[in-house]
Structure 1
Amino acid sequence: MERAFVVLGAIFGVAGTAAAAAASHITGAGSGLDTAANFLLFHAPALIGIALLVKTGTVHANIGRFGGLLVLVGVALFSGQLALRALADASLFPMAAPAGGTTLMIGWLLVGLAALVGPRRV
């Protein structure tokens, strides 16, 4: 799972860079694509960081993984909705952005909880 977080973090970085360029050259500021780009770029290194926290045993592994998964899904939904609306005037599904944002916040809370609980001592 940690390797997947690193790979997907890298993909978020690429997608965020591409979205930032598209927002600058195609849709313009305020279209929502710039916000999608920011969320992708902010969370790209965060996913890699979550993977490292889990891999090094700094946080509770299962809670950290689940939190990372929710961060991943939340950013994908939130940014995907904003990007699709900006580029194609379409929607993933009704309330995709709020669902993604809520999922993202729950993911971050779980990452914090994983740190509070700490690694399992066997």
Structure 2
Amino acid sequence: MQRIWIGLGSLAGFGAVAMAAFAAHGIVDATAARIVGSGVQMQGWHALALFGTGLWAPRGGVLADAAGAAFTVGLLLFCGSVYSVGLAGVSWGLLAPTGGILLMIGWLLLGASALRSR
């Protein structure tokens, strides 16, 4: 799983940089740019979290892998929903809060994996 988390982290990081560039040069509405900027910030931080999870996974075991899964699904739901609102004005209801909760759970799982390791 180590390589999967690092690979997904790199893809998330790439996507964050691409979306930041698009937001800076392709969005004229200030409110939409601010909304997309929030998604970019969360995506960038959690790209790093996935990368760190990949580095930690060999020692963190199943809890670290669960953290990586929570980060991945949380990123897709949260950032996807935020981008949808910012770029198209379309809300997906509870997907953003569900994604945000998964991101928080990912952090708790990552911390638990550190406490549990030898």
TM-score by length of 2: 0.88
Tell me how far 1:22 sits from its aligned partner.
1.6
- Residues 32-63 of structure 1 deviation map (CA, whole Å, 9 limit, x = unaligned): 111111111111122111111112x2x2x001
Which residue number in structure 2 is paired with residue 102 of structure 1? 101
Which residue number in structure 2 is paired with residue 46 of structure 1? 49
Given that 1:23 and 1:29 are in contact with CA atoms closer than 8 Å, whether structure 2 keeps it comes out as no
Instruction: Measure the CA separation in 2 of the matches of 1:64 and 1:29.
Output: 38
Instruction: Measure the CA separation in 2 of the matches of 1:38 and 1:105.
Output: 15
Tell me how far 1:12 sits from its aligned partner.
0.5
Which residue number in structure 2 is paired with residue 25 of structure 1? 25
Identity %: 35
TM-score by length of 1: 0.86
Tell me how far 1:29 sits from its aligned partner.
4.8
Given that 1:71 and 1:104 are in contact with CA atoms closer than 8 Å, whether structure 2 keeps it comes out as yes
Instruction: Measure the CA separation in 1 of the matches of 2:8 and 2:30.
Output: 26
CA RMSD for the aligned pairs?
Answer: 1.5
**How many aligned positions are there?**
115
Pick the structure with more helix per residue. 2
Once superposed, which parts of structure 1, at least 4 consecutive aligned residues long, lie more than 3 Å away? none
Instruction: Measure the CA separation in 1 of the matches of 2:95 and 2:70.
Output: 14
Instruction: Measure the CA separation in 2 of the matches of 1:114 and 1:29.
Output: 41
- Uncovered stretches (5+) of structure 2, i.e. residues with no partner: none
Which residue number in structure 2 is paired with residue 88 of structure 1? 88
- Call closer, same or farther: CA 1:115–1:29 in 2, change over 3 Å: farther
- Call closer, same or farther: CA 1:22–1:5 in 2, change over 3 Å: same
